[in-house]
Amino acid sequence: MPDLLATTQSVPEIQTRAAPASARPVVVHVTVQPGGMPFGLARIWECTFLLDQHSAHASRMVGHEGITLYPEWTYFAPHRRQVFTLTFEPLPPAVRVFDLAEVIPEPRGFRCQGITRQDPDTYWLDFIQFEG
């Protein structure tokens, strides 16, 4: 029987470090206050972006939690505060102010303008009344 201890190879040391801020995804938590959604229904379209106010840069949405994608609907209880989370591609380091925009072929869409960049790239937006 072979000696297993004698045949094992050493495991190389793996060094880890935090990704630079410019390489981290942007996380946006959206709070919808009671009665904030007409008819208690909401959804998000894949064509939702973070748009730099001073360049043509757009970071696309790469994930969502707590809300469904078009064409499905998510029910939002009318008397309860609800939270959903959107994840976006990283913003370039030069971005200081940006907008969240759901670019859709309908008259209503999520839009929040003038979000000031912070570190880390995690944001909490409060929708008291969605007007679209």
Calculate Rg over the CA atoms of the chain.
Answer: 21
* pLDDT, mean over the chain: 84
Mean pLDDT across 42-60? 96
* Token pair listed for 90: 């990283």
Residues 73-132: pLDDT tens digits? 999 888 888 999 999 999 999 999 999 999 999 887 889 999 999 999 999 999 765 544
The domain segmentation of the chain, as residue ranges, is 21-127
Q: Measuring CA to CA, how many Å separate 119 from each of 44, 67, 91, 122, 123?
A: 25, 25, 11, 7, 10
Query: What's the pLDDT score for residue 13?
Result: 55
Locus of tokens 């106010």 = 53
More confident residue, 131 or 61: 61
Query: What's the pLDDT score for residue 31?
Result: 92
Would you say 8 and 64 are in contact if contact means Cβ atoms under 8 Å apart? no
For the entire predicted model, the pTM comes to: 0.79
pLDDT at 10 over 70: no
Query: What's the pLDDT score for residue 20?
Result: 55
- DSSP tag of 69: B
Query: What's the pLDDT score for residue 108?
Result: 79
